[in-house]
Structure 1
Amino acid sequence: MAWKRLNFENLIIDFSYSSGTSEYQEEEIFIQQERVERAFDLALQLDKEGYNVYVCGPNGIGRSRYTLKRLQEITPTKAKPSDICYVNNFKDFYRPKAIVLPAGYGRKLADYIEEVLEFLKRETFKAFEGKEYEEELSALTKEIDSQKEKVINELIEEAKKYNLMVLFGPEGVRLLPIFKIETPVAQEQLLESPQFREEYQRNLNAFEPTFRQYMRKLRELDSALGENLVNLRKKIATNIVNKAFEKLEAEFKDIEEVKEFISEVKEELVKNIHLFIEWEKAKGNVVIQNSINRALNVFRVNVLVDNTKTEGAPVIYEKVPTLKGLFGQINYRAEMGILYADHLSLAPGTLHKVNGGYLVLDLWEVLKNPYVWILLKRTLLHKKLYLMGGMIEEIPVPHVGLLPEPVPFSAKVFLIGDSFLYYLLSFYDPEFIELFKIKAEFNPIIEINNKVIESFPKIIKKIIKEENLKEVDASGLSEVLKYAIYQAGDRKKINVVLKNIIDLLREADILSKNEIITQKEIKQALREKIFRVNLLEEKIRELIKEGKIIIDIEGKKTGQINGLSVYVLGDHSFGKPSRITANVFPGTKGVINIEREIDMSGPIHSKGVLILSSYLYNKYSTDFPLQLSCTLTFEQAYEPVEGDSASAAELMVILSAISKIPIRQDIAVTGSIDQFGNIQPVGGIKEKIEGFYRVCKLTNFTGEQGVIVPAKNFDNILLDDDVLEDIKNGKFHIYTVETIDDVIEILTGYKPEKFHKEVAKGLKKLYQLSKEKEKKTKKKTKTSKKLKS
């Protein structure tokens, strides 16, 4: 006999702790996650392109906690990342320049530039009011004045030769006629005398070329004076600017990018030295000084990322990644109805702050905005980080657009996600595998061993500390471990998704009226949790009790059996018995799956039914060909049927219908069958057993009711205390089977050999009836043809 009836001792989980959590030290442990550890070891040592990490596992297993723990352990040993600064581009205002400097130097550069501006505000006016400037200005003026006087004297002498006098007045230079006595002639007299007018005009025409030459010399001298004054101003400005930059140039003498920036700033400061002169003149006028200060912003440095105080490489966990949050933004300000921005308006994003370090992202949150995912991939592929414009281009408002220069990007990204997203992106996004070459996958179900049992209380202790919960005594701790085993669905394993355990402890903490959580509160919390979500389950049991859903749980019937199915509602799953019936009659259609005929059968269920036909042909068609028609269905099933866990029950009900041997209705069956009659393991064992148990409990137990399950599912039989208690008292039973013969023996009381003989008889009878029916049909057809002829 291969089948076995399990007793209470076979089913209980007999384990208990001797002390509560108060006797343990808290510790963050990730048990049996060698696959994850080795993936992280590789990722943290390998800095090649594309070796970012996909941290894979169910929500609540500790993906982000483990990631941050490993990163925080290694980052102190890493070098500080560089500072990122933006400065004005004097050649193209709309494209601010990025300068990457060693850590701490960004702030130094900004402070030095500010010192330069303050120095120039303080010293420029003094320089242009000083003795040196006045003396050089006076010398330049005197020299030009002397040369102009010489030119004017020559002009006067030349004019005399043409009987003309040079007169300098407010209206300009005038040439007037003179007599031999060198007395000017009145204008009225000149106009009255044609002779004078003719002579005067002739002299003017003759002297005009010479006059123009002298006037050009005077203009050149004026221009030379202006140029000399500009050069003098530039010289003084250059000297004071050079003096202002002495410390800054010494500090940054070895950094080429800064040297180029300093050169440009100095040149522009010399050109705009008047701003500092006006600053001194505007003392006391806050409005003008503020205006000048804004004008000086073009020289200032925007330290986008300052790593002066950073210790090692930065680690950032961005829980809600957005475009602006990750890639930075341009903060526009309104001026005269226009949105205006400059290099000082640039604000950093998380990617700027984490550059040179490690970034942790939740993939579900990233994918909520496709643009974030696209731009993140672009940044990782090209290793260039562009600062976003804040989508201002989409707003129909006049604005000054900026396109900041990108900065080199070298951070390693850790994506937190699940298996579904991993396979989805692997299939549809070829860049994903190229960028995330390392997969660190958590195992939610681990084997129970001594180390797991020793570590479990420490994990619970850490949860208690972090959540500020009451201590758990020994009985409560044992019950929490039992809950973790039940969550795993296997008595030899434990579920390490801590999210569920944390929720349980929180609820038990509320229920506890004392200063400690015991087994009583843990069990009550579990009952309360089920009660909140099992309304549909209760409604179905009510319908069964009222007889509206027909389920027989006593006696024997031919061609009818109780199968077991599981309803999964997202937050709750439960088992429900399903009445499966079969009817056989002569024919050649074989097994007809009624659910399949109306498209209510899923592909796996349809496959299971086809396997039944294979079993029948393999087992019974050695002496004669099989000819039968059999209809098979789930009675009162109004939703699609999927899975093959009912195939053993379906085979039994077909065999019962063929042999006319009744089968027990007080025992439900679950299990998948192969073509040779072996019973294969299935899922949802706990829910299925308890589903039939609770239906039987609606009426008084007969003491004979129970469930047949595959022997290979023994470790999955994890039952609630009330079920175990009734098993202990002999009210309910569980049988494990390995083949369909075991099921036959339990359900019919027949030995398998005798049962199969009865089935063979039934099949042979159906074959004979089918042949007779075929003969009658042929005879009827021939008679019909003769009558027609």
Structure 2
Amino acid sequence: MPWKKIEFKDLKIEAQFSEGTLAFHPEELFPHQERLEKAFDLALRIKDEGYNVYVCGPRGIGRTRYTLKRIEEVASNFPTPPDLCYINNFEDPARPKCLQLPAGYGKKLEEGLEEALNFLKRETFKSFEGKDYEEELSKLTKEIEAEKEKVFAELTDAAKKYNLMVLFGPQGVKLLPLFKIQAPVSEEELFKDPRIREEYQKSLIEFEPTFREYMRKLRDLDTAFGEALFKLRDKIAENLVNKAFERLEETFQTLEEVKLYFQSLKKEIIKNIHLFIEWEKARGNIMVQSGINKALNMFRINLLVDNSQTQGAPVIYEKVPTLKGLFGQINYRAEMGILYADHLSLTAGSLHKANGGFLVIDLWEILKNPYMWIILKRALLHKKLHLMGGMMEEIPVPHVGLLPEPAPFTTKVFLIGDPYLYYLLSTYDEEFGELFKIKAEFDPILPLDELTVKTFPRIVKKMIQDDGLKELSAQGLNELLRYAITESGHRKKVKFILEDLKNVLREANYLSKNQEITSEDIQRALKEKINRMNLLEEKIREYIKEGKILLSVEGKKIGQINGLSVISLGDYAFGRPSRITASVYPGSKGVINIEREIEMSGPIHTKGVLTLSSYIFHRYGEDFPLQLSCTLTFEQAYEPVEGDSASCAELIAILSAIAQIPLRQDIAVTGSIDQFGNLQPVGGIKEKVEGFYRICKILNFTGKQGVIIPVQNVDNLLCDEELLEDIKGERFNLYSAETVDDVIELLTGLKAEKFHKKVYERLKKFYELSKETPIKKKKRKKSPKKK
């Protein structure tokens, strides 16, 4: 099929809405995402390890909104996860224990313990000052005193046998000598009479073993009295504590782990019952009571995650994740110059709150801190969640020895990211594929069919409602759809990047002076957006207009053609015509790409030049070896050249230079070629066509200019209204071509065979020249040698 002129009717996009957004109901829809939906269906059903989800797609397409929408639809059908508590480890306070309770029971335990402590604060002092305690204490005291009296009597009788008398005084027990008159001797008389003193010393020595035995009995009675007091205290405290915990033990009677905790807790409370006695004694002294209350913290629990109000599985979206925000932390406080923390100092992170449910996080935010990614993977791999500050070997956080027990971790994580990060992690992170086995990918380019047209106004209505914008008129809605089609780069498709559409709506809403957003408002918003970004494009046009960048858009020239390239600035891309020239001469160097020689040519551009070289040698070199040297370049190109979309134009320039046949300068060419001269589709068609069109407008718009594109790119022609009007009026022309021959005919006005014949003849002439005998230089006569 030969080349074909593209008609206006082939380019016009007819929008299909007869009503504005006022006639539609808002809906959050994601049409034509079947692949994505199947991935989510699998992820939300499967519970095996590693089936976390990577939600993949360009930013602004609605990745997070869709993810949260799908999860929230099913989260209520999942079981509610248990509450997570941390309790004091009485055996090793530096290692608080993790306790999981059925949802709602954590709050019951926390409140129940506080009630029990309040009960003990009120009742302990009363119990130890009450009638029962006094009677028990009195009875115990009398029994011990009676035993002591008995021992005292025995000691007195035994001492008399050694002429000693026992005296009990404030300084303790004294032994004094006795005479036959059975009266004690004064100490002054004792020290005056050596005889009495000697007899007294002898009696003391003889009585000493017996005396020590009786004193041991007295000490044993004192010890027994102390032990009895402790037992009495423990007995009363035990009864009191059992009464305080009676309701709690009944509530948690089916939970063995809690019952074990209660056993150790009650023992510790009984051991520290004096704190509750001191509480009542310190009534009115706020500072003392505050200190006692702080000491009582050892008996309280830290309800880290309370799921009492959670229905189904929790859904947590961490918008700006941080180490402490994700993994929790240990809050240290300074006391007397020392950092201090206990089990109540632990705070939950998002992972704790999402435990047993779903967590949604942005991967870019996670990767900003490598520690977050490393620890997240470790939690997923080992199914254990460590609190920040408790992993000294992992995280350099100030630490005073608190190492909480890790919590069991069963959260399903949804990572929000783009395709680039997915492929990067898949390649370089071995654990990534093991942990994120499901890829849920958005397709930003949708077919322009009945479903898309049906859902488009509802989606737009939802955006309007969410942002409080004006309604769109029917023409405004059509213009917005045309913008979405243009952004897709294909006449039969739509680009659904929700944030891009919303940005256009916001700007049009600001510019609109009417009650509705009209097509003119949309067009003005788009023009102003381009105007904010196209400074470089305007500068290049200005240089072309001033003649600083040489470009011809009329007439004919040999070995020169207008190629088209695209300059991408990240947020904006525009087409730039480039003057491609070729110079040929006999030789054997082949096609020399000047850009490649100076290392300004990228690998794809180099491939394109080698491909056209192959075409030349294949097309013309069957009858004789080609003797061709050719230099090829992009004139006034001072930046790297990449891509093969100019390979067709480069080939035509070389062939023109060989055949010495001029080419039209008012027609630009884009398209790559294969080794057999077939045109292949390229990107950036819209930008390239509009770029050449605008240069023609500023130089000399003759009405005969145009662009040749590959036939496969016709559906990619999405021209603005100004260009469409000139195409409709036949003031600018677009042509589709399938082969190099089609392009040759358009640019030279000759039949392809005639053109090829000219090229063949010239190449043959080069060959003939190469066979001629070179001119020999005359040899100098040698001077006669001197004898």
TM score, norm. by length of structure 2: 0.97
Map of 2:427 onto structure 1? 427
Residue 539 (structure 1) aligned with residue 539 (structure 2):
yes
Deviation at 1:622, TM superposition (A): 1.6
Greater Cα offset, 110-119 or 124-133: 124-133
Question: How many angstroms apart in 2 are the aligned matches of 1:198 and 1:363?
Answer: 99
Question: How many angstroms apart in 2 are the aligned matches of 1:59 and 1:532?
Answer: 21
Map of 1:751 onto structure 2? 751
Residue 776 (structure 1) aligned with residue 774 (structure 2):
yes
SS in 1 for 2:304: strand
Question: How many angstroms apart in 2 are the aligned matches of 1:342 and 1:18?
Answer: 68
Would the alpha carbon gap of residues 140 and 260 (structure 1) be closer, same or farther in structure 2, given more than 3 Å must change? same
Map of 2:494 onto structure 1? 494
Map of 2:140 onto structure 1? 140
Residue 528 (structure 1) aligned with residue 528 (structure 2):
yes
Q: Retained in 2: the 8 A contact 1:563–1:670?
A: yes
Question: How many angstroms apart in 1 are the aligned matches of 2:263 and 2:70?
Answer: 45
Deviation at 1:506, TM superposition (A): 0.5
Q: Retained in 1: the 8 A contact 2:390–2:403?
A: no
Q: Retained in 2: the 8 A contact 1:674–1:680?
A: yes
Q: Which amino acid aligns with 1:38?
A: K
Residue 680 (structure 1) aligned with residue 680 (structure 2):
yes
Question: How many angstroms apart in 2 are the aligned matches of 1:318 and 1:615?
Answer: 57
Would the alpha carbon gap of residues 559 and 366 (structure 1) be closer, same or farther in structure 2, given more than 3 Å must change? same
Q: Retained in 2: the 8 A contact 1:144–1:221?
A: yes
Q: Retained in 2: the 8 A contact 1:3–1:735?
A: yes
Map of 1:34 onto structure 2? 34
Question: How many angstroms apart in 1 are the aligned matches of 2:741 and 2:329?
Answer: 73
Map of 1:167 onto structure 2? 167
Q: Retained in 1: the 8 A contact 2:389–2:397?
A: no
Would the alpha carbon gap of residues 115 and 647 (structure 1) be closer, same or farther in structure 2, given more than 3 Å must change? same
Q: Which amino acid aligns with 2:54?
A: Y
Map of 1:56 onto structure 2? 56
Question: How many angstroms apart in 2 are the aligned matches of 1:761 and 1:786?
Answer: 46
Would the alpha carbon gap of residues 704 and 357 (structure 1) be closer, same or farther in structure 2, given more than 3 Å must change? same
Question: How many angstroms apart in 2 are the aligned matches of 1:411 and 1:226?
Answer: 56
Would the alpha carbon gap of residues 785 and 399 (structure 1) be closer, same or farther in structure 2, given more than 3 Å must change? farther
Would the alpha carbon gap of residues 338 and 19 (structure 1) be closer, same or farther in structure 2, given more than 3 Å must change? same
Q: Retained in 2: the 8 A contact 1:670–1:710?
A: yes
Map of 2:480 onto structure 1? 480
Question: How many angstroms apart in 1 are the aligned matches of 2:468 and 2:781?
Answer: 92
Question: How many angstroms apart in 2 are the aligned matches of 1:559 and 1:786?
Answer: 50
Would the alpha carbon gap of residues 615 and 392 (structure 1) be closer, same or farther in structure 2, given more than 3 Å must change? closer
Map of 1:341 onto structure 2? 341
Question: How many angstroms apart in 1 are the aligned matches of 2:644 and 2:395?
Answer: 58
Deviation at 1:399, TM superposition (A): 6.7
Q: Which amino acid aligns with 1:74?
A: V
After superposition, the C-alpha distances for 1:713-768 in whole angstroms (9 at most, x for unaligned) are 00001111111111112211111100000011000011011111100011011111
Q: Retained in 2: the 8 A contact 1:16–1:474?
A: no
Q: Which amino acid aligns with 2:656?
A: S
After superposition, the C-alpha distances for 1:362-391 in whole angstroms (9 at most, x for unaligned) are 000111111111111111111111111289
Q: Which amino acid aligns with 1:762?
A: R
Map of 1:723 onto structure 2? 723
Residue 446 (structure 1) aligned with residue 446 (structure 2):
yes
Q: Which amino acid aligns with 2:11?
A: L
Question: How many angstroms apart in 2 are the aligned matches of 1:562 and 1:462?
Answer: 46
Deviation at 1:395, TM superposition (A): 12
Q: Which amino acid aligns with 2:491?
A: R
Deviation at 1:771, TM superposition (A): 2.2
After superposition, the C-alpha distances for 1:333-375 in whole angstroms (9 at most, x for unaligned) are 2221222221111111111111111100000011111111111
SS in 1 for 2:699: coil
Residue 705 (structure 1) aligned with residue 705 (structure 2):
yes
Q: Retained in 1: the 8 A contact 2:489–2:718?
A: yes
Deviation at 1:702, TM superposition (A): 1.4
Q: Retained in 1: the 8 A contact 2:553–2:699?
A: no
Q: Which amino acid aligns with 2:92?
A: D
Aligned ranges for residues 587-606 of structure 1 at < 5 Å? 587-606=587-606
Question: How many angstroms apart in 1 are the aligned matches of 2:698 and 2:319?
Answer: 49
Q: Retained in 2: the 8 A contact 1:384–1:408?
A: yes
Q: Which amino acid aligns with 2:4?
A: K
SS in 1 for 2:639: coil
Would the alpha carbon gap of residues 502 and 140 (structure 1) be closer, same or farther in structure 2, given more than 3 Å must change? same
Q: Retained in 1: the 8 A contact 2:581–2:653?
A: yes
Map of 1:194 onto structure 2? 194
SS in 2 for 1:232: helix
Question: How many angstroms apart in 2 are the aligned matches of 1:571 and 1:443?
Answer: 20
Q: Which amino acid aligns with 1:214?
A: Y
Question: How many angstroms apart in 2 are the aligned matches of 1:529 and 1:741?
Answer: 41
Map of 2:245 onto structure 1? 245
Map of 1:275 onto structure 2? 275
Which runs of no fewer than 5 residues in structure 2 stay unpaired?
none
After superposition, the C-alpha distances for 1:537-581 in whole angstroms (9 at most, x for unaligned) are 010011001111000111111111111111000111101111111
Which contiguous aligned blocks of 4+ residues in structure 1 show a shift greater than 3 angstroms? 390-401, 782-789
Question: How many angstroms apart in 2 are the aligned matches of 1:445 and 1:335?
Answer: 61
Deviation at 1:609, TM superposition (A): 0.6
Which runs of no fewer than 5 residues in structure 1 stay unpaired?
none
Q: Which amino acid aligns with 2:638?
A: Y
Question: How many angstroms apart in 2 are the aligned matches of 1:241 and 1:748?
Answer: 106
Would the alpha carbon gap of residues 354 and 396 (structure 1) be closer, same or farther in structure 2, given more than 3 Å must change? closer
Aligned ranges for residues 333-482 of structure 1 at < 5 Å? 333-389=333-389, 400-482=400-482
Question: How many angstroms apart in 2 are the aligned matches of 1:410 and 1:524?
Answer: 52
> Percent same amino acid at aligned positions?
67
Question: How many angstroms apart in 2 are the aligned matches of 1:458 and 1:120?
Answer: 63
Greater Cα offset, 309-318 or 435-444: 309-318
Deviation at 1:125, TM superposition (A): 1.8
Deviation at 1:393, TM superposition (A): 11
Deviation at 1:788, TM superposition (A): 15
Deviation at 1:261, TM superposition (A): 0.9
Residue 563 (structure 1) aligned with residue 563 (structure 2):
yes
Q: Which amino acid aligns with 2:774?
A: K
- Across the aligned residues of Structure 1 and Structure 2, the Cα RMSD in angstroms comes to 1.9
Deviation at 1:785, TM superposition (A): 13
After superposition, the C-alpha distances for 1:309-342 in whole angstroms (9 at most, x for unaligned) are 1111111110000011011112222221222221
SS in 2 for 1:165: strand
Q: Retained in 2: the 8 A contact 1:668–1:708?
A: yes
Would the alpha carbon gap of residues 395 and 73 (structure 1) be closer, same or farther in structure 2, given more than 3 Å must change? closer
Q: Which amino acid aligns with 2:717?
A: I
Deviation at 1:48, TM superposition (A): 0.6
Q: Which amino acid aligns with 1:3?
A: W
Would the alpha carbon gap of residues 47 and 392 (structure 1) be closer, same or farther in structure 2, given more than 3 Å must change? closer
After superposition, the C-alpha distances for 1:371-422 in whole angstroms (9 at most, x for unaligned) are 1111111111111111112899999999743111111111110000000000
Would the alpha carbon gap of residues 759 and 363 (structure 1) be closer, same or farther in structure 2, given more than 3 Å must change? same
Question: How many angstroms apart in 1 are the aligned matches of 2:421 and 2:518?
Answer: 39
Deviation at 1:276, TM superposition (A): 1.4
Deviation at 1:784, TM superposition (A): 9.3
Question: How many angstroms apart in 2 are the aligned matches of 1:244 and 1:736?
Answer: 91
Question: How many angstroms apart in 2 are the aligned matches of 1:410 and 1:113?
Answer: 29
Q: Retained in 2: the 8 A contact 1:554–1:665?
A: yes
Would the alpha carbon gap of residues 783 and 732 (structure 1) be closer, same or farther in structure 2, given more than 3 Å must change? farther
Deviation at 1:131, TM superposition (A): 2.4
Q: Retained in 1: the 8 A contact 2:704–2:732?
A: yes
Deviation at 1:306, TM superposition (A): 0.9
Deviation at 1:27, TM superposition (A): 1.1
Map of 1:118 onto structure 2? 118
Would the alpha carbon gap of residues 169 and 787 (structure 1) be closer, same or farther in structure 2, given more than 3 Å must change? farther
Q: Which amino acid aligns with 1:204?
A: L
Deviation at 1:108, TM superposition (A): 0.4
SS in 2 for 1:657: helix
Question: How many angstroms apart in 2 are the aligned matches of 1:395 and 1:460?
Answer: 47
TM score, norm. by length of structure 1: 0.97
Deviation at 1:132, TM superposition (A): 2.2
Greater Cα offset, 20-29 or 672-681: 20-29
Question: How many angstroms apart in 1 are the aligned matches of 2:98 and 2:577?
Answer: 70
Q: Retained in 1: the 8 A contact 2:620–2:760?
A: yes
Would the alpha carbon gap of residues 390 and 90 (structure 1) be closer, same or farther in structure 2, given more than 3 Å must change? closer
Deviation at 1:455, TM superposition (A): 1.1
Q: Retained in 1: the 8 A contact 2:389–2:398?
A: no
SS in 2 for 1:182: coil
